[in-house]
Amino acid sequence: MRYVLSFLKPYIKWMALAWGLMLVELFVELWHPLLMEKIIDDGVIKNDWHVIVKWGGVMAVTSLLAFASGIANSFAAAYVGQQYGFDLRKQLFEKIESFSLFNFAKFSTASLITRMTNDVTQMQNMVFMSLRIMLRAPLLIIFGMVMAFFVHAKLAIILVVAVPTLLFFLIWMMNKASRMFSSVQQMLDRVNSIVRENIAGIRLIKAWMRGSYEQARFSNTNGELMTRTMRVLRFTETIVPVLLLGMNIAVVIILLVGKMEIHAGSAKAGEVVATINYTTRMTASLSVFTFISAAFSRAKASAKRIEEVLTTVVDINDGQQADQSSIERGDIQFEHVSFRYPESDMFVLRDVSFSVRAHETVAILGETGAGKSSLLQLIPRLYDVTEGTIKIDGIDIRAIKQEHLRAAIGFVPQDLLLFSGTIRDNICLGAQDFSTEEMIQAAKDAQIHGTIDSFPEKYDTIVGQKGVTLSGGQKQRISIARALVRKPKILLLDDSTSALDVQTEANLLQALKTYQCTTLIVTQKISTAIEADAIILLKEGKILAKGTHEELLQTSELYRKLVKSQLGRKGFGDVKTAT
C-alpha cells in the first residue's frame, strides 16, 4: 500500500491542513469533559450559577469552533481524496497505455476496468476517512485515557484494561476482513467480465438463442458475489456489538467503583462523570473503527491490485541510445527471425528470412495458424522477436524510437475496432493535423467515400461503439482509410479485405499503388496475391516459398493447389507448371 499512497505527496500541505483542523476538533472534544467536571463540582454541587454560565459559555463557543473546523476539514479531505483519485486513475491509464500485448495478456479487460474504477474509489474513500476520522479516532482513544488519568487514576485503570483488549480484537478482525474483501474484488472482476462479454457478443447470443444460458451464468456469478459480500459484511458487523458490549461493561464497572470512591471521599461526582464522558467518547470512536476497518480492509485489497498494475514491468521499451531519426524509405529485412509468445514454449515463426524493397507490395499467404498475423505484429514491435533481427532502412527496429517507428507504419489489424464517435474521428483517430481534403482522399482511395457521402450526416455520422451501425466491409474500408491518411512509409494489412467484393477490392489495390509505401498484405485470396510484386507462402511458421505468382506456379505444389481451389484452371493462364 505504501507505493500507492506515495501519490499523495503533492497534497501534503492540504493533508496537514486537514489534520490540523481535525486536531482542533479533537482538542475541544478532550477538553469538554474537564469543563463538565468543573461545572458539576464547582457549579452544580455548590449552586454557583456564575461558574455554570461561565464554563457553559466556553463549552458553547468551543463547540462552534469545533463545528467550523469539522466543516473545513471535510472540504480539505474531499479535495485531497478527489485529486488523489484523479491522479491514480491517470497513472493507471497511462501505465495501461504503455503495456505491450504480452502485458495485456496478464490482466483481463474486466479486471483492468474494475481496478481503474472500483479499486480507485476504495482508495479515495480510505484517504477521505483517514483525513476526517481515521486518525481522529485512535488519537481520541489514546489521549482520552491519558486525560482520564489526570481526572482520576484509579478509574482510568479500568479503561487501560478494557480498551487495549478491544483494540487487539479489532485489529485481528480487520486483518481477516482484508483477505475476505480481496476475494470479493476478484468475484467483482468475474461479474464485470461476464457483463462485458455479453454486451460485446450480444448479436451472437441472440442469433444462437443463448439468452437463458447467459442469464443463468450471470445469476450464478452474481449470486456468488452477493454471498461473499454478505459473508464479509456479516463478519464485520459483529465488530460493533462486541465493542459496545465491552465498553458498556467498562462503564458499569466505572460506575460501581466510582460510587465506592465517592462514599470513601477519594473521588468527586464531577470526576466520575468526566471519566464516564471520556469512556462514552472512546466507545463512539471504537464504533467508528468498524467503518474504518471496513474501509481500510477494502483499500488494502484494492491497493494491492492497483500496485500490481503500476509496477508491471513493460517488456518493450526504447533503448537509451534509440535512433531519433524517422523512417525515410521503408525497406524491410527479416534476418533469421524466430518468435514465440512470452511464457509459451511453441515457436510461431521459425528462422524466417526475407527482404522487401521500398514501395514493393508483398502478399503473405498461408493456412490458419501459419504465423501470418504474428509476422506483421513484429514489425511495429507489438511483440519483440525471440531470435534474429528485423531491420527497416537497414536499422534494427529495436534501435528505433517506438514513437518514430509506429508513426511511419499504417497498421490495419485483423480484429477491427472503431471507436465511439464520428466517422471523421475514426479516420483521423484524434489527430488534428489532417486536412479535410486529405481525409476525403484517403476515404476515396479506401473505396468508402461514396458510402459515407450517402449518409445524412456524411463524415459526422456517429458510428456507435465498435462501429455496430456499419457492415464488416464498411468497417474494413474505414480502417484502411485511417491507415492511409497517415501517408505511411509502411502499410500493414492483416486480412483487411476479406469482406470486400471483387470489384471493390480491385479498385482498392489499384489505389494503393499510388502511395509511396511498402505494403505487406496478409490474405487468403489468390486474386489479391496475384496483384502483389511478390508472394510469401508460410507453413507452420516457416517460409515454404517466395516469388511472383508465375514463379510460385512453377515451383510450389501447395501454391498450385491454392490457385486451383480458388480460380480453377484459369488461374494458371499460360504458365507452364513443373511436373
Confidence category of residue 570, pLDDT binned at 50, 70, 90: low
Contact 577, 553 (CB under 8 A): yes
Between CA 344 and CA 341 the distance in angstroms is 5
Whole-number pLDDT of residue 72: 92
Confidence category of residue 574, pLDDT binned at 50, 70, 90: low
Whole-number pLDDT of residue 154: 78
**Could you read off the pLDDT of 90-130 as tens digits, one per residue?**
999 988 888 888 888 788 777 888 888 888 988 988 888 88
Whole-number pLDDT of residue 297: 74
**Could you read off the pLDDT of 234-244 as tens digits, one per residue?**
777 777 777 77
**Could you read off the pLDDT of 318-375 as tens digits, one per residue?**
766 566 667 888 899 999 999 988 778 888 999 999 999 999 999 998 888 888 888 9
Residue 245: is its pLDDT beyond 90? Answer: no
Highest mean pLDDT among 66-80, 125-139, 267-281: 66-80
Question: Can 2-310 and 414-487 be said to share one CATH topology?
Answer: no
Whole-number pLDDT of residue 572: 63
Between CA 442 and CA 238 the distance in angstroms is 66
Residue 552: is its pLDDT beyond 70? Answer: yes
Residue 422: is its pLDDT beyond 80? Answer: yes
Query: Per DSSP, what are the bridge partners of residue 335?
Result: 389
Whole-number pLDDT of residue 324: 64
> For the chain, what is the mean pLDDT?
82
Q: Residues of 232-263 as b/e, b for ≥16 C-beta within 10 angstroms? A: beeebeebeeebeebbeebbebbeebbeebee
Residue 414: is its pLDDT beyond 50? Answer: yes
CATH numeric code, 414-487: 3.40.50.300
H or E element in which residue 136 lies: helix 136-151
Arch. (CATH architecture) of 2-310: Up-down Bundle (1.20)
Residue 307: is its pLDDT beyond 70? Answer: yes
Whole-number pLDDT of residue 90: 92
Closest CA to 477 of 516, 451, 502: 451
Residue 575: is its pLDDT beyond 70? Answer: no
Whole-number pLDDT of residue 151: 77
Between CA 169 and CA 233 the distance in angstroms is 17
What pTM does this model have?
A: 0.71
Between CA 413 and CA 479 the distance in angstroms is 9
For range 223-230, the mean pLDDT: 84
For range 36-64, the mean pLDDT: 81
**Could you read off the pLDDT of 531-548 as tens digits, one per residue?**
888 999 988 889 988 988
Query: Per DSSP, what are the bridge partners of residue 522?
Result: 364, 494
The residue ranges of every structural domain in the chain are 2-310, 327-408+491-498+516-579, 414-487
Contact 475, 467 (CB under 8 A): yes
Least confident of 147-161, 408-422, 499-513: 147-161
Whole-number pLDDT of residue 579: 41
CATH numeric code, 327-408+491-498+516-579: 3.40.50.300
Whole-number pLDDT of residue 430: 54
Percent of the chain with pLDDT over 90: 11
For range 143-150, the mean pLDDT: 78
* Placement of cell 481451389 in the chain: 565
**Could you read off the pLDDT of 204-215 as tens digits, one per residue?**
777 777 778 788
Q: What angle do CA 502, 508, 510 make, to 5 degrees?
A: 105
For range 410-439, the mean pLDDT: 81
Least confident of 55-69, 137-151, 502-516: 137-151
